[in-house]
Structure 1
Amino acid sequence: MDNYKTEIREHVVAAYETVCDELRTWKQFALEAWPLLSLLLLGIAVAVWLAKPAPPKHIQMATGSEGGSYEILAKKYADYFALHGVTIELVRTTGAQENIARIKDPKDPLQAAFVQSGLIDEKQAEGLMSLGSVGYEPMWFFFRNDLIDREQIRSENFLTHPIAIGEPGSGTHQHVMNLIRINEFKDISGLREISNAEGVKAFQEGKVLSIVLVDGMDAKNVQTLLNDPRATLVEFDRAAAYSRLLPYYHTLTIPKGALSLSLNEPRQNMETIASTTNLIIDKSLHPAIQLLFLQAASKINGGRSFFASYGEFPAYKDSVTPESDVAKSYFQKGAPTLLEYLPFWLAEFVDRLLILILPLFAFGYPIIKSMPSYRLNRAKARINDVYLALKRFEQELRDNFDRAQTDVYMAKIAELDTRASTLRVPRSLVSDYFSLRSSIDFVRTMILNKSSPLPLSTT
C-alpha cells in the first residue's frame, strides 16, 4: 500500500513539475517573442473587427403612411425578428421621400424601410443599399361608377375632375406625377394632394371622383375600395408601353372575375402596371441584421400571392440602388448552412469569418512559422554579443596587457561571466552556452597567467 501511495505521489509531483516547466517555457517564449505575438494578435483583432461579431438587438424601420401595406408587412417582419431576439421599432412616416432622407442621415436611427421602385434616382441612391424586392405594388386607379359614366372615361378626363393622388413625398404622388410627365398632360386642375387614407375617405364621401393608390393588394386602403360597389377599377390598356418606357414598372394581369366572381369583376382580363417593394437599408446596417431581413423576406414574401409566383421574391429587380454584398451572397448561395445549427448572429459571424481565414492565414502563417527560429535567433544573438565582447577583450589583453591593471581585467571578465550566466537559452543552444562559459574561463586563465610574476632565472 505504501509503495502504491509513493508511486501516485511521484506521478503527481512529476505532472506538477512538467506543468510548471511548460509554463515557465511559455512565459519565457512570450517575453522573447512578444513583438511577433503582438503582431499576430493585432491581425486576429482586425479580422474580428471586420467581421463585426456583435449585431444590434434593436433597430428602427419605417412603416410608411397609415393604412398602407407597409404597415401590415413591417409588423410581420417585427414578429419574425422578435423570434430571433431582435426588436424592430416601427416608425410611421409620410412616405418614400422621408424614408430615404432619414435613412441617409447618419444621425437618424432609422435604418430600414420599404420603398417603391422608381422613387430613387442614382443621386439619391448614394449612401443606400438594397436587399432586393419583396413584392409587387400595382397602381390601382378607381373611379366612382355612380358619378362618372364608365363608357365615356378616358385617362386624360380624370385629371380635370377631383382626383386624389397622395400627399407630396409619398410614393403614390410621385408615380402619378411621373405618368403625367410622360403623357405630357397639360390640364391637371383636378389633382388633390392628400394622403391615401384621406383620399379614400374623400372618395367615399364623393368629394373626389377618382383616386390612385400605389400599394399592395392586402393594403387596408386598397381592400376598402375593392369591396366598395361604387368603386370601379380602370385598366391600363397601354401597360406594356409604360413598362418599356419606365423600366421600374412591371406589367401584371388581373384575370377576368378574379376580384369578384359573383360580380364578374373585372369583366375581362385587365392589365395594370406595378412597381416593386424594395427593402432599402442604411449601408452601415450590420451584416447579421441584413441576413435576418433576407430570411424574413423569404419566409414572409417568398410564397405564392395574387400577383407573385412561389419563390419569386425576394429578388433583385430594381438596379438603381446598389445591392448589398450580403444580398448578393444570399441570392447566389442561399443562407449559410450553419443557420441550421447555430443562432443566426453566430452562424452569420462564422460564415463571414471563414471568408477572412484565408487572408488571415496568409498573414499569420509566416509569423507562427518564424516564432521558433525568432526565439532561437534572439538567443544566438545574445550569445554572440557576449562572444564579441569577449573577443575584443582578449585582443586588448594580447596587445596591451598591463600587470598593474590585473584587478580591472578580472572585474571585466567577471562582468562578462555574469552576463553569460544570466542568459536564458533554448535547449538546442545549451552546447553554445557552455562553450561560451568555457571561452570566458579560457580568457580568465590567460589573465592569471599573464599577471603571475616571472620565475627567477638560476645560474
Structure 2
Amino acid sequence: MGSFKENTRETFLGLAETVQEKWTDFIQFLEETWPLLILLLAILMGIWWYADPPPPRHVQMATGSAGGSYEDLGKKYAEYFAGKGVTLELVPTNGAQENLIRLSDRNDPVQAAFVQAGVERPKNISGIQSLGSIGYDPIWFFYRGPEIKSSDFQVIAGHSNYFSNRKVSVGVEGSGTHAQTTRIIKLSGLEKAGLQFVNYPGEKAVKALQAGEIDGAFIVDALEAHNVQTLLKDPQLHLVTFKRAEAFTKLLPYVKILSVPEGAFNLERNFPSQDIKLIATTTNLLIDDRMHPAIQFLFLEAAREINGKESFFANRGEFPSFKDSLWPESPVAVHYEKNSYPLISAYFPFWIAEFISRLLFIFLPFCIIAYPVLRSLPSYRTKLMYNKINRLYGELKTFEQSLLLTFDPAKRDEYLKKLDLMEYQALNIKVSKRLAGDYYALRTSIDYVRNCLNRGMHPYQFNDAVDPDL
C-alpha cells in the first residue's frame, strides 16, 4: 500500500490524464465536425438575427413645449445617447396628451416620451409601457401684487378672498400643466370662484404674468425649468403654499408633498418668506412597448446617470423609481430594477457589449445543445474516421493496380516517395481507440506494398518465364 503522498500524486496524475484525454477528444471533435458546426451556427445566427434583430441606431423621443424642463432634459438624454453611438432625435410637442397619442400610434416613429403622472389617458389607448418615474414636477402657482396670507387662497363654498374676478393661466389644453391644474380646480371648487381662465403655453404665461396681463399662472414643471426659474427670480411675483397638501395626496394618490424651507429659493431675498409646502407629480418615462430591449436599457442607464443625482427635491439614487407607476411596467424595467444593467456594459462600449451579449445568448445554448447531440451520434464520427481510412485504402489499391499495369523499375524511388506520402497522411489521421485496429491495418498495408517494391523480384513486374495462369 502506497503512502498518502504517492496516492495523492497518482490521483492528480489520473485526473490530469483524464482532462488531457477529454480535451484532446474535444479538439478532435471540432476538427472532424467543424463544417457541420458552422452550418448549424449559421442557421442559428440567421434565426437569431431575424427573431432578435440588433438595436436601431436612431430613436425618436417626444419632449414637450418650448421653455419647459423636458426640452432641456431631452437634450441631456440625446447627449448621453450620442456617447453610446445612438442618435436620439427630440420631437417637440404641445404636451402630455399629444405624447400619449403619438406613442400609442403604431405608425408614428416616436418611441419614447416624458409624461407627467396623473395625466388623463385618451380613450382606447394601448401599447404603452413605463420605464419608471425620473423626477418631481411641482405644481407651482405664481401670482403678482402684494403678498397675501395663505388662508386667503382657500376656496370654501366657492368663495375666496383672492381668486374672485382674477385672470389665471392654466396651461394649454393637452399639456401636463392643464391636466394637473384642471383636477386641482375641480377638487378645490375654483371653477365656482368667478375666475377667468386662459390657456397660455408656458413661455407666454410667464411673459403675460410679468407684464401684468394676467394675475396668476399655474405651471407644472421641474424646478430647473427655464420658465420656473424666470418666475422664481422675479421679486414682483409670489408663490402660493399648498396649506392642505396632505388632503391633495389623499384625493390624488400620485401626488407627493415637497417641503421648501424659508429662504431656500433666495436666501438674500428670503424667498419664500416662510416654510411652504408644494404638491408635485412625477415625470414618467414612457415607451412604445415594441422598443428594442437594448434601447430600453440605454434609457434606464441615462435616467440613472442624469436623474439619479441629488437635486433640490430628490435624494441621490431616488430616481429612476419604479413605485406607484400608473402605467404597465416594462419587463425590461422590472429586470433592471432587480439586476441593474448587464455587467458586461461596464467594460465594453454599448454596441460591442450588446453584440457580445446577443452572441452569448445564442452561442452558449448552441454549445450546450449541439455538442452533446453530435457527441451522441457515434455513427457520425465513426463514419468520418472510416471515410478517411477507406480513402487512403482506395488510393493504395489504385496505386498498386497502376504498378501491376505500368510498372517501371526506373521509377522505383518515385513509387516509394508516393508510399511515404500515403504513410504521412495516415499518420495524421486522428482516430478513436475503437478504430485503432483499422488505423494500424492501413499502415501495415502501406508497409506491405513498400516491402514488395524493395524486393529483388517485384511482383508488379511481368516475367515472360513465368506462366501468369499458373
> Which one of the candidate residues 182, 187, 196 is aligned to 2:187?
182
**3-state SS in 1 of match to 2:63:** strand
**3-state SS in 2 of match to 1:132:** strand
Q: CA deviation at 1:192?
A: 0.8
| Residues 251, 152 of structure 1: alpha-carbon distance in 2 compared, 3 angstrom cutoff | closer
User: Residue 58 in 1 paired to residue 44 in 2?
Assistant: no
Preserved CA contact (<8 Å) 1:164 1:192: yes
User: Residue 113 in 1 paired to residue 120 in 2?
Assistant: no
> Hey, what does 1:46 align to over in structure 2?
47
User: Residue 274 in 1 paired to residue 280 in 2?
Assistant: yes
| Residues 355, 38 of structure 1: alpha-carbon distance in 2 compared, 3 angstrom cutoff | closer
**3-state SS in 1 of match to 2:59:** strand
Task: Return the letter of the residue paired with 1:100.
Answer: L
> Hey, what does 1:323 align to over in structure 2?
329
> How high is the sequence identity, in percent, across the aligned residues?
46
Preserved CA contact (<8 Å) 1:40 1:367: no
> Hey, what does 1:306 align to over in structure 2?
312
- Give distance in 1, aligned partners of 2:344 and 2:273: 51
- Give distance in 2, aligned partners of 1:286 and 1:182: 40
User: Residue 168 in 1 paired to residue 169 in 2?
Assistant: no
> Which one of the candidate residues 284, 294, 298 is aligned to 2:290?
284
Residues 96-148 of structure 1: per-residue CA shift (max 9 Å, x gap): 11111112212211111111111154966620121111110000011112497
Q: CA deviation at 1:360?
A: 5.3
- Give distance in 1, aligned partners of 2:204 and 2:381: 78
Q: CA deviation at 1:179?
A: 1.7
Residues 335-368 of structure 1: per-residue CA shift (max 9 Å, x gap): 2111122111332444466566676566545643
- Give distance in 1, aligned partners of 2:353 and 2:142: 48
User: Residue 79 in 1 paired to residue 71 in 2?
Assistant: no
Residues 407-443 of structure 1: per-residue CA shift (max 9 Å, x gap): xxxxxxxxxxxxxxxxxxx997998xxxxxxxxxxxx
Q: CA deviation at 1:324?
A: 1.7
TM-score, normalised on structure 1?
0.69
- Give distance in 2, aligned partners of 1:366 and 1:246: 59
Q: CA deviation at 1:165?
A: 0.6
User: Structure 2 regions of 5+ residues with no counterpart?
Assistant: 1-27, 387-430, 439-470
Residue pairs, 1:353-392, within 5 angstroms: 354=360, 364=370, 367-373=373-379
Task: Return the letter of the residue paired with 1:113.
Answer: A
- Give distance in 2, aligned partners of 1:48 and 1:372: 32
Preserved CA contact (<8 Å) 2:85 2:351: no
Task: Return the letter of the residue paired with 2:79.
Answer: D
**3-state SS in 1 of match to 2:77:** helix
User: Structure 1 regions of 5+ residues with no counterpart?
Assistant: 1-21, 381-425, 432-459
Task: Return the letter of the residue paired with 2:119.
Answer: L
> Hey, what does 1:92 align to over in structure 2?
92
- Give distance in 1, aligned partners of 2:124 and 2:242: 29
- Give distance in 1, aligned partners of 2:207 and 2:142: 13
Preserved CA contact (<8 Å) 1:121 1:320: no
- Give distance in 2, aligned partners of 1:232 and 1:310: 29
Preserved CA contact (<8 Å) 1:125 1:322: no
| Residues 257, 342 of structure 1: alpha-carbon distance in 2 compared, 3 angstrom cutoff | same
Q: CA deviation at 1:186?
A: 4.3
- Give distance in 1, aligned partners of 2:179 and 2:270: 32
User: Residue 336 in 1 paired to residue 312 in 2?
Assistant: no
**3-state SS in 1 of match to 2:257:** strand
**3-state SS in 2 of match to 1:256:** coil
Q: RMSD between aligned alpha carbons?
A: 3.3
Q: CA deviation at 1:315?
A: 1.4
Task: Return the letter of the residue paired with 2:219.
Answer: L
Preserved CA contact (<8 Å) 2:132 2:325: no
- Give distance in 1, aligned partners of 2:125 and 2:328: 8
| Residues 371, 183 of structure 1: alpha-carbon distance in 2 compared, 3 angstrom cutoff | farther
Preserved CA contact (<8 Å) 1:122 1:320: no
- Tell me the number of residue pairs that the alignment of Structure 1 and Structure 2 aligns: 359
> Hey, what does 2:449 align to over in structure 1?
none
> Hey, what does 1:143 align to over in structure 2?
143
Q: CA deviation at 1:288?
A: 1.7
| Residues 80, 286 of structure 1: alpha-carbon distance in 2 compared, 3 angstrom cutoff | same
